[in-house]
Structure 1
Amino acid sequence: MRVATAAEFVGRRRYLQRCLKEIRNHLGLLIHGLGGVGKSTLTARLLERMVGYDRLVIYRGLDADKLRKVLAEQCTSEQGLEILNGNLPLMQQLTKFFQSGLNSKEQRFAVVLDDFEANLELRGDGVYVLQPQVVDVLLALLKAVQNCRLPHKVIITSRYDFVLAELNQRLHRENLAALRDADLT
């Protein structure tokens, strides 16, 4: 996805500063807002400032196989590949990978789930919820990041905020509004 360059990035300094602060205190962020307001661009600028993190980007659809594939593409460790190809349940597999399957002990991941709205469905009451097949994968990822006790992070960009009770304590929600006034100028 095309994002604004650093030179084109204007009017989002407060959001960027708040996200940098909040990502230190949470497992990650859920950045949501209308299409075209700069969620992916804000994420790109945020990742530039997260020194020492390897970026893992999953665009749109999320499933267990896609997640394993993205992790395997970054993995040069034989132990890590064995873990990803093993038969453990997904959450245990991810936890073990994040603890001991890394290329080095210092390696840290920033897992970006971009345009995540592809994984949502609208309920009859107007609330967006995760599609049933995505719930277990997202929860496994978040629990694994939490359980491994290393500072890996998860950043989700979506047009819509969505309901999943387990996310409330783990992710900071940032509603990215359209540019206005002086920022727009």
Structure 2
Amino acid sequence: MVEIGALVMMYMGLLGGLGGWYFGRKQARKNRGLDERYEHIWKTARSYSWYATLFAIYVVLTLAMVGVELSVVPIVSILLAVHIFSWGLIGGILSIQMSPTEAPDYLLKFIGGLALGVGSIILFIILTIATGDYRFLVIMTLPVLIGSIISIQAKKSARHPLTK
């Protein structure tokens, strides 16, 4: 029963993602947003997301070599999540950086810190569930702490722009 529910949710997520992509592109085309800048941003984001996926592959291989038992489904799920999450995050950051209006520097730092914290939580919870080893939750605290510090510092610099 669980496998059927997971299968249904997986394909519902796929259909939802494709629908969002289609209607987003349709709206962007209507607003003349599909230009060279858009193409460059998402090509670059896709390229960088492969670097993140390569890093995740090395992490998974390292875990396998030190004796952590992982099956195929959790490994592929982790790699897919890393690839899609990094693609969207990097695309969003590049869109902010390359937007015609000047994006404040603290906004990118805040998003980066938030992404580091949330991404670490998701990754280490998936690893904990996949392996049953709760030590991953202890390891998770360091990247979450670093991401929180980055986000808090960015928020403080946003409140006091003259004290940089």
Structure 2 length-normalised TM? 0.26
User: Higher strand share goes to which structure?
Assistant: 1
Higher RCO by CA contacts (8 Å cutoff, separation 6 or greater) = 1
Structure 1 length-normalised TM? 0.24
Asked which structure has the greater CA Rg, the reply is 2
User: Higher helix share goes to which structure?
Assistant: 2
